[in-house]
Amino acid sequence: MKVVIVGGVAGGATAAARIRRLDEQAEIVVFERSGYVSYANCGLPYYIGGIIEDPKQLTLQTPESFFSRFRVDMRVLHEVTAIHPDRKTVSVKNLRTGEELEESYDKLLLSPGARPARPRLFGTDTERLFTLRTVEDTFAIHRYVTAQKPKSAVLAGGGFIGLELAENLQKLGMEVTIVQRPRQLMNPFDPDMASLIHAEMRRHGVRLMLGHTVEGFEDGEEGVKVLLKDETPLTADFVVLAIGVTPDTRLAKDAGLSLGIKDSILVNDRMETSEPDIFAVGDAVQVKHFVTGEDALISLAGPANRQGRIAADNICGGDSHYPGSQGSSVIKVFNMTAAVTGINETAAKRAGIAADAVVLSPMSHAGYYPGGRLMTMKVVFEKETNRLLGAQIIGYEGVDKRIDVLATAIHAGLTAEQLKELDLAYAPPYSSAKDPVNMAGFMIENISKGLLREFHLDELLSLPKDGSVTLLDVRTEKEYEHGHIDSFLNIPVDELRKRFSALDSQKPVYVICQSGLRSYIACRILAGNGYTCYNFSGGFRFYDAVINDRCLIESAHACGMDQ
């Protein structure tokens, strides 16, 4: 059996190694148009910032090491220019010599990945405009930064690459601005959770221009002008386009393979395309979202590697199936960690799912053990069934392990209530006897049983201030004096039973505290004494962060100011 693989990075390299492990006799040829195989896309910004010092660390394998171990013919700087399904061959161009050849196959695997989106904007031919997708892109930016010593950069786009690159450039001493058309960074997060990411970026001096549209670029003596719609242009020493990626599927399209969203390659759960003996994996393929079952494009290394393994199994006569992508991801944001899995509340409602969410702010480990840090968790679930839909966590230590537990729970089909039953490891330096994941389960169980009624930020902002409801803040007097919401009466939770006379038992009570715990206790006290009570999800700390972020974005648009 002869297998030809187009693309030698995540999915393609994984498939090649797996095929060899399953079939020692197979002939395996990989064509990679760049000069590198099996490289770490996710590490590229950290080489530019100097955190990864040796460029060799970016490549997990070389063509020589791959051949030595797996006897795979890795041909770099070879571009496949056409696929001929009728005669089971591909046309290939040697980019070193210009020579063209035709290679036959028994099985063909496409792993072309995605290319940086380059919208039709004026001035994209400037030499000081970069993209970041390949090792060559990384070296180009690194050379420019090393030689020119730029003092400023504009990043168009606020996704994973944009944030990671912003941090690394800022640490090199540059003034960094992120311009993003949506009014938030990191779209996998809900806007309220994204506000915590915004605050961390601003804390480290990154200028955010959210809700602004880039219209083009102009070279000038002082740098590159970034032209914005209805705004004064920005000027920087260089610009990086990081506005997302587009499936690189020209080959598949020209060969007549069936296509899906944004011309992605349609595959079944065996990673088979519409043409016999042609498989496809990675960023170029359309998948099913594991949570919603909807068609999706999810460009992440983990799914690409798993798809490569599944395709390899099936090429070798197996019967492996891909269950769908869940979108689990994590990112370092300066001193913080932000992680997500499944779908967020915004996406759930857009998909027509009746969703609810709990927001909590637990410590990373036992409060009495030194060094604990707060994290903010948002767990999204379906109202009627308590089906787990997704989770978002932003904090410091322990964020990554909690998101992985929640990702596993979603994949295993656990309900949100069942989170309370998970037997998770505990020692004071690592967790609490009631782990944050367990706490989310307790809260959702209380909602399910009617012991907890919540209200959220949008509901808070629309609450009547005419005295028809009671607005109650149960924090201490000092906390209340340090900052509070207008019209909220302050009665500390420990004084509540003594001061029922200040409350009207005929009016519903909406309660807030710093994190949501004391207000829940207050609600149980009030409910036990005949009151109808609602607890604010997330607490005052969360409210304050989200509202401050909204005000910064709105005032910047109103006044033309920096955010």
- 172: β partners: none
Active site residue 559: no
State the sign of the Cα–Cα–Cα–Cα dihedral 150, 225, 127, 180: positive
Burial class (CB in 10 A: 0-12, 13-18, 19+), 149: exposed
Length of the chain: 563
Amino acid letter for position 105:
Y
Helix and strand counts by DSSP (H, E) for the chain: 15, 31
Gap between the terminal Cα atoms of the chain = 59
Q: Quote the Cα angle for 361-365-370, to 5°.
A: 115
The rounded distance, in Å, linking the Cα atoms of 484 and 463 is: 15
Element (H, E) at 233: none
Report d(CA 455, CA 534) in Å as an integer: 6
Find the catalytic residue in 42, 316, 513, 533.
42
Report CA Rg, the chain.
27
Could you give the CA distance from residue 122 to residue 129 in angstroms, rounded to a whole number? 12
148 vs 112: CA distance, rounded Å: 33
Q: What is the dihedral of CA 7, 320, 65, 3, to 10 degrees?
A: -60
* Bridge partners, residue 214, by sequence: 228
Q: Which residues pair with 122 in a beta bridge?
A: 216
Cα distance between residue 155 and residue 136, in whole Å:
19
Cβ within 8 Å of residue 408, ≥6 positions away:
none
Instruction: Write out the catalytic residue numbers.
Output: 42
